[in-house]
A and B are shown apart, each in its own frame.
Chain A
Amino acid sequence: MLEHIELFFRSIFIDNMVFATFLGMCSYLAVSKRVATAVGLGAAVIFVLAVTVPLNWLLDQYLLRDGALAWLGPEYADYNLGFLSFILFIATIATMVQLVEIVVEKFSPALYNSLGIFLPLIAVNCAILGGSLFMQSRDIQTLGLAFNYGLSSGIGWFLAILAIAAIREKIRYSNVPAPLRGLGITFIITGLMAIGFMSFGGMLTGGDEAPQEEVNTTAQKEKELKVTEEVKENTVSFNNLINNNN
């Protein structure tokens, strides 16, 4: 349970998609002129990330990674299809987006009207593919954690685009230097927000160190024992030296 909570807050605040890894910047900049549209796109991103990351986790676990095909039989255990992950992930994402669009249109026309226009945009949103690739490279352990990771990264992205859209609506009334208007000032504000988000980094440092220590305890204790013995020997011989000299 604790690791779920940790992953949740870490993906929203510390490893925020926009501010820490710059994923989904294109749509973040293009669709953040008004709060209403930003909310629509943000919701669509949360939804698609929460669906595709667990799906791609299953693909990665049972098809792609080194030895993943072992469930087919021992003779397949040596295969490593990792190089295919880009093409499989993006195909899953494109198909899922299409599928989600059809299902939502059928069952919830109201939701479709608010999300509909954004869904095709999302297939090429780097945040979605980035979510799956980070899930792969960070070696997320269980399906539940993968779902959690997708959901919380989506929420982080949603928060970021909501904040910048609100700021851009207000900044229209400010006297920005002409060449900086529009895109330029948006970049600089995003940079400042990213610096602000960096301060969340302190939130989890305590929890970070604990699990590592637990893993290493036995090995470390042995090492420490050896070191202290060596130190004792050294001090003894050093003392002897001093005494002899005296």
Chain B
Amino acid sequence: MALLSKKDTSLILDPLSDNNPITIQVLGICSALAITAELKASIVMSISVLFVMGMGNVVISLMRNIIPSKIRIIVQLVVVATLVIIVDQVLKAFAYELSKTLSVFVGLIITNCIIMGRFEAFALANGTWRSFLDGIGNAAGYGVILIIIGFFRELLGSGTLLGYKVLGDPIAKTGLYAIGYENNGFMLLSPMALIVVGLIIWVQRSRNKDLIEEN
């Protein structure tokens, strides 16, 4: 079983926790926050980024020896834009409602800093298989945070998960609502996404003291 050496495994696992693209590297926040009011949208967004990043890293690392370094940014942008167009068209064909919810944020995967950042930092200097693993790992780290935010915002904001009423019916007063629980509509508004990310960072850095910044 030499499919994944020790270094390869760390490529996938590191971004999930101690080198997370969102909470540690501060990349890709732009699209992470706006679409997390529902769990479903966060999951679809994570899958889209996973696809774009895995494929993009492979393409860039295959071309890394023939790209002139002066125009590499434009080449990278074209590669990402092509992949994102594929994702956008697939979403429009198979999940039209969802692609309306995500609106311009699918297009904004192009300028998602994680993708450009990993192209620059990894795919331009490493082999294809490694780059693929790196892409998958970072996209998964991004997805984990997105899904955590989406989970809490949908659960606390509208009392549902993936559209299922897990806390009971707020109008018929069943489940938790029977004892006076109320949805916190504030969680659905955009500022709360920022505060939830802040809290995730707080929890993560309390658990791992090495990550604490100087000031």
Mark A residues whose CB is within 8 Å of B: 19-26, 29-30, 83-87, 90-91, 94-95, 120, 123-126, 128-130, 133-134, 137, 172, 177-188, 190-192, 194-195, 198
Within the assembled complex, what's the spacing in Å between the Cα atoms of A25 and B190? 13
**Which 3 pairs show the lowest CB-CB distances between chains A and B?**
A182-B213, A191-B194, A179-B205
Within the assembled complex, what's the spacing in Å between the Cα atoms of A195 and B198? 15
- The 10 sampled A-B contact pairs (Cβ below 8 Å) are A19-B191, A22-B34, A85-B107, A87-B85, A178-B212, A179-B201, A179-B205, A180-B205, A185-B198, A188-B195
Q: Is the CB of A187 within 8 A of B198?
A: yes
Q: Is B31 an interface residue (CB 8 A)?
A: yes
Q: Is the CB of B85 within 8 A of A83?
A: yes
Nearest CB in chain A to that of B78: its residue: A87
Within the assembled complex, what's the spacing in Å between the Cα atoms of A124 and B78? 12
Stretch of B110-118, B126-134, B151-159, B162-170 contacting A (4+ beta carbons < 8 Å): B110-118
Within the assembled complex, what's the spacing in Å between the Cα atoms of A129 and B88? 16
Q: Is B141 an interface residue (CB 8 A)?
A: no
Q: Is B77 an interface residue (CB 8 A)?
A: yes
Q: How many chain B residues have a CB neighbour from A under 8 Å?
A: 50
Q: Is B81 an interface residue (CB 8 A)?
A: yes
Q: Is the CB of B190 within 8 A of A20?
A: yes
Within the assembled complex, what's the spacing in Å between the Cα atoms of A75 and B191? 49
Give every chain A residue within 8 A of B116 (Cβ-Cβ).
124
Give every chain B residue within 8 A of A188 (Cβ-Cβ).
194-195, 198-199
Known: A22-B190, A83-B88, A194-B190. 16 other contacts (CB 8 A): A21-B190, A83-B89, A86-B84, A90-B77, A124-B116, A129-B110, A129-B111, A130-B30, A130-B108, A179-B203, A181-B213, A187-B194, A187-B201, A191-B191, A192-B195, A198-B189
Which listed residue (B34, B113, B194) contacts A26, Cβ 8 A?
Answer: B113
Give every chain B residue within 8 A of A95 (Cβ-Cβ).
74
Q: Is the CB of A94 within 8 A of B73?
A: yes
Within the assembled complex, what's the spacing in Å between the Cα atoms of A133 and B163? 28
Which chain B residues in 81-114 approach chain A with CB under 8 Å?
A: 81-82, 84-85, 88-89, 103-104, 107-108, 110-113
Query: Given A29-B29, A188-B194, A94 and B112 touching (CB < 8 A)?
Result: no
Q: Is the CB of A177 within 8 A of B193?
A: no
Which listed residue (B26, B74, B88, B189) contacts A91, Cβ 8 A?
Answer: B74
Q: Is the CB of B28 within 8 A of A26?
A: yes
Which listed residue (A125, A134, A185) contacts B111, Cβ 8 A?
Answer: A125
Q: Is B23 an interface residue (CB 8 A)?
A: yes
Q: Is the CB of B206 within 8 A of A22?
A: no
Which listed residue (A24, A94, A183) contacts B74, Cβ 8 A?
Answer: A94
Q: Is the CB of B26 within 8 A of A129?
A: no
Within the assembled complex, what's the spacing in Å between the Cα atoms of A95 and B81? 15
